[in-house]
Structure formats: structure tokens, C-alpha cells
Chains A and B, each alone.
Chain A
Amino acid sequence: MDWWLLFEITLAGVGTGGLYALTGLAFVLIYKATRVVNIAIGEMLMIGAYVFFSFAAGLALPIWLAVPGALLVSAAFGAVVERTLIRPMLGESPISSFMVTVGLASMLVGLVELVWSADQQRLPEFLPAKHIVIGQAFVSPKIFYGFWIAVLLITAVLLLFRYWRGGVALRATAADQAAAYSVGINVPRVFSMTWMAAAAIAGVAGIVVGSIGGLSSVMGVFGLSVLVVVIFGGLDSVAGALVGGVIVGVIEALAGFYIGGEYKLLATFSLLVLILMIRPYGLFGTHEIERL
């Protein structure tokens, strides 16, 4: 066995895993604050990528304008989704709001095909193209920088979550909504801020994923792996999303290389079946189960 090759593939897996973790974080934020299982997370990621595409390729804006612009639009989009689709579902059963996000996902695919066509698109290159060599292992530069972008953003989000007043308000809302309301936390605003933050985080992931694999109206499939990540880690666990992201990334990379590219998703979903049988609430999740 070629150990350097194994190392190289594992590194690539960790790189992709960072993006899974980032998107998983966006998912967990929404679930924690609003108890909505957002199946449309992959499609929200896609919207971020396409908006960035419009800014960077369509309007030919420089990167330092196109990225914040895309994130602002993504956040605004998250706010609109929360206000128009999620808030009216307040107090309905979890399955109803889950179905709303299923509908949202297919609406977004339709929207992308209408606005940007169903053809594949390529994002302009903006990450350094020089190959990274660690020992004898090569790492694709896009995956390398994508991973560090994910790590940076995850750290920032975690710090805010822990220390910022708004982050504490979010945790308090997740723990007890009535109590949060009565100590003066504006709960509806926490909901909408959470959706905005999650949409922006997913947008960053979308830009990186798009620059690695190109854009298409089916890139929301990325969200399927993310779903496995959060079920694996526990729907309401930030740590679970991070650990789960890396593990799923590595397993996919190994399966893709040693068994064959077409078995990637098979490996992911085998893992899902396994975890549902052993720990249905995930590695770190709260031991209460929402049936969907």
C-alpha cells in the first residue's frame, strides 16, 4: 500500500469535509434556533454560488466586491425565506415546515434554471493555482484554500456563538423560547438573524464548492451529503457537524478512490443507515428524536 497516496486522499477528504462541516454548521444553526429541518440547505448554497457567479462573471466585479456582495444578497435571501415561508409555519408540526423546505428546494432549482439556464457554468478563477505539496502528497490548491476558508469562518462563527450577545441570545432561544422572550430577547429577530447568518455561511460554502466543481442546477446534491453529516453528528450539535463533516468527507474520498467514484454516495448513505441503527440521535445530539 502506498501510504503517501492514502495520506493524499485523506487530505483531499479532510478538505471537502471542511466544506461539509461549514454547510452543516449553517444547517445546525437553523435547527437549533428555529427547530426547522432545512432540507433546502444545499439549494441555498447553490443560490450563493450563482449570485457570486453573476457578480464575478456577469458584472465582472473584482473578487473583493463580488464576495461580500454575494454574501449580502444571500443573507437578504435568507431573511426573505424566513419571513415569507418559515414564520407563517410557526406553531405548525415539524413535518409541515420540513415539507415547506422540500418545496423551497425544488423552487430554487427551478429559479436557477430560469435565470441562469440549466447548463454548467464555470466560476472565474480566484484562488491561487499553485499546487501544494506536503511531503510527497499533492493537495489541490482549491481544496486546500477552501478548507482554510471553512476553518476561518467556522472559528469566527463559534466565537460569536460563544461570546457575542446575539450568539448567547440564540443559544438562549434554542434552550427555552418563552424564557428568552420574557428576559427581553427579541425571538422573531433571532429567528431572522439565524436564517440570514445560515444563508450567508451556506453562500460562502457555495462559492468555494462552485469554484472547485463548477456550477449547475444540480449542485444542491451537495446538501444530501450535508444531511448525512448533521444526522451523523446530531441535528442540534455544532461539534457534531464539525466532526461529522470531516469524517464523511474522508469516507467519501477513500470510497471514491479505492472502490470507485460512483460508490462515493453509496458509502455516505451506508454510513447513514449504520448511524441510524446505532445512534439515531447522532454522535453528539440531544437524546430526543423528531420523527420526520
Chain B
Amino acid sequence: MPASASQTLLKVDGLSLAFGGVKALNGVSFSVEPGSITSVIGPNGAGKTSVFNTLSGFYRPAAGTMIFDGHDLAGLSPPKRAALGLARSFQNIALFRGMTVLDNIKLGRHCHLKTGALQALFYTPAARREEEQLRREIEERIIDFLEIDHIRKAPVAALSYGLQKRVELARALAMRPRLLLLDEPVAGMNREETEDMARFILEVRREWGVTVLMVEHDMGMVMDLSDHVVVLNFGQVIADGRPAEVQGNPEVVKAYLGSGNVEALRERFQRAAAAGAQARRAA
């Protein structure tokens, strides 16, 4: 079923998730428009990664629906979701250590390949064709595009953090995604690496037409890149809109700084100081 009926690529509605007594997500709803870059932000522990893990099928939500391109994701295993066009990267890099960059990227195409065991063992023409086609596409489109040609034979474990993140992005692109889920794509990167990554994310959308949903802490990058920002706090959506709207929202400021009201804060300090002085006098 194509999404032509509705404009939305991903619609999350009333998503709830609990670990024991902790409500990680509580009625989270938002939507992602095709071709947009949507960011999910929020303080630590707000439930951003939980949203991602529920979307990619690692957690089963207690309630709520996730409709991706007209398909209900409920009950679909992670590989089935991958086949539908959901690809993701991880907050802590999750590459296949011990394999080369090229092998890692090729594994992204795993779910689309057809060669069987016997064909591979004897390396039949069909298997060879498939392998060559895959190699060409990956080399021409992905490796050149992400500027990682010089390291494609290197084992991933030997690469710098920024490059590893880039290989993760390459692997996700090899999955031919329709929606790319990026979990903190620039966490721990220096300024230059961050700018590179921001450029790649913009180009992924422009050249490949891939919709992006990302979790990120770097506010500068979120506000620059995003068309749409969803703010989570304690597992609930507290704001949702264009970057400028969200930035000015008092709820959001409060979530990040505790309280936006400096006068109220000063008053609280003064009251506490007075109470302390009184206690000392009494003693």
C-alpha cells in the first residue's frame, strides 16, 4: 500500500512503553512528513532512544500504533521492518568489528540479496552477477558519496570515531532506506566532523530522497537542519513544531533549564537564605 492516501510517511500515535514501573514512553504521538528532516530532542532519559528502539522493533510497545508508509509496524520483526525501508544507526556505534569497511557496508544489502548456499559455494554466474552489481553500486554511490574510499579495505575497529559513524551511515544507506533513523549522529564529534556529518545528512535527503528522523543533542545542528522538531520529556511530547516555534516554547526551556523564570529562582534563593539565617538566630 503506497502512502499516496496520506501525506505522512510515518505516523506514531499514542505510543506507550514501560519497563516495570518506569514509564519510558507515555502516549507519544508525532508524524514524519516524506522528504523532511525531523528531530527528536529532549533531556537525558526523556525516552528518545526508546522511541527509536520501538520503531526498529527491539521493544514491544504496551499501547499505541506506528504506521509506516501505510503498513502497521505492530508485530513485524526487525528484519521485516528493514525490508520495508527502515534503516537505523546506533548511539553507541554498532559495527561488525573484525570485518572490513566494505564488508560492513555490503551487509546492509543483506536483506535484498538472493544467492543461495550452493550458488555461493561454486560462485555461479548468477551469484557473480549479483555480487558485482552490488559492489558497483556501493562503490559508485555510497563510498564515493561519503568520501570513505581510502579506508574501504580497512578493518572498522582501526578507524577513528568519526569515520566509524560515517561507515554506520554508509551501511544504513546500503539498505536502500525510505526512512533513515539516526541515533545521535554527531555525538562526541569535533566541530569539523560535525559539519561533515551535517552536510552528508542534507545531501542524503537531497540526492537520495531519503526522509530522516534523528535524535540529537547538538542544538545548533538540530535547529539548522530540521524541518520539524519533536521535544520529549519524561516520556511525553511537550512540544512539536518548526525549530523556531520550539525554541521559544517556555515548556521546552523549562525542561532544559529547570525553570525559565529567573525572578522566581532568585526569590527562592532569598527565601532559603532567610530561613537559614532565622534558624541560626534561634540556635
- Are B99 and A184 in contact, CB atoms less than 8 angstroms apart? no
Question: Contact flags (1/0) for B80-123 with A, using CB distance below 8 Å?
Answer: 00110001101000111111000100011011010101001101
Within 8 A of B (CB), among A159-183: 159-160, 163-169, 171-172, 175-176, 178-183
The yes or no answer to B175 lying at the interface (CB within 8 A) is: yes
Which residue of A is nearest B80, CB measured? Answer: A184
The yes or no answer to A185 lying at the interface (CB within 8 A) is: yes
- Are B82 and A183 in contact, CB atoms less than 8 angstroms apart? yes
Least CB distance from A156 to B in Å reads 7
- Are A185 and B111 in contact, CB atoms less than 8 angstroms apart? yes
Complex Cα distance, B49 from A178, in Å, reads: 14
A interface size (C-beta, 8 A): 23
Complex Cα distance, B83 from A190, in Å, reads: 17
Residues of B within 8 A of A171 (CB): 96, 98-99
- Are A183 and B171 in contact, CB atoms less than 8 angstroms apart? yes
- Are A175 and B96 in contact, CB atoms less than 8 angstroms apart? yes
Give the contacting residue for B83; candidates A168, A179, A181, A184; CB below 8 A: A184
Question: Contact flags (1/0) for A103-131 with B, using CB distance below 8 Å?
Answer: 00000000000000000000000000000
- Are B94 and A184 in contact, CB atoms less than 8 angstroms apart? no
Complex Cα distance, B90 from A181, in Å, reads: 12
Give the contacting residue for A181; candidates B79, B87, B99, B120; CB below 8 A: B79
- Are B120 and A179 in contact, CB atoms less than 8 angstroms apart? no
Least CB distance from A185 to B in Å reads 6
The yes or no answer to A270 lying at the interface (CB within 8 A) is: no
Complex Cα distance, B83 from A167, in Å, reads: 20
The yes or no answer to B58 lying at the interface (CB within 8 A) is: yes
The yes or no answer to A186 lying at the interface (CB within 8 A) is: yes
Residues of A within 8 A of B108 (CB): 183
Complex Cα distance, B110 from A172, in Å, reads: 11
- Are B96 and A184 in contact, CB atoms less than 8 angstroms apart? no
- Are A179 and B110 in contact, CB atoms less than 8 angstroms apart? no
- Are B175 and A184 in contact, CB atoms less than 8 angstroms apart? yes
- Are B121 and A165 in contact, CB atoms less than 8 angstroms apart? no
- Are A183 and B111 in contact, CB atoms less than 8 angstroms apart? yes
Within 8 A of A (CB), among B49-65: 56-58
Which residue of A is nearest B181, CB measured? Answer: A182
Complex Cα distance, B123 from A165, in Å, reads: 12
- Are A165 and B115 in contact, CB atoms less than 8 angstroms apart? yes
Which residue of A is nearest B92, CB measured? Answer: A178
- Are A184 and B110 in contact, CB atoms less than 8 angstroms apart? yes
Residues of A within 8 A of B88 (CB): 182
- Are A182 and B56 in contact, CB atoms less than 8 angstroms apart? yes
- Are A176 and B103 in contact, CB atoms less than 8 angstroms apart? no
Residues of B within 8 A of A179 (CB): 90, 94-96
Within 8 A of A (CB), among B27-68: 56-58
Mark A residues whose CB is within 8 Å of B: 156, 159-160, 163-169, 171-172, 175-176, 178-186
CB-CB nearest 4 A-B residue pairs:
A184-B111, A184-B82, A179-B94, A164-B120
Q: List 9 A-B contacts (CB under 8 A).
A: A160-B117, A163-B123, A164-B121, A172-B99, A172-B110, A179-B96, A183-B82, A184-B110, A184-B175
Known: A165-B113, A169-B110, A181-B58. 11 other contacts (CB 8 A): A163-B120, A164-B120, A171-B96, A172-B96, A175-B97, A182-B88, A182-B90, A183-B87, A183-B108, A183-B111, A185-B79
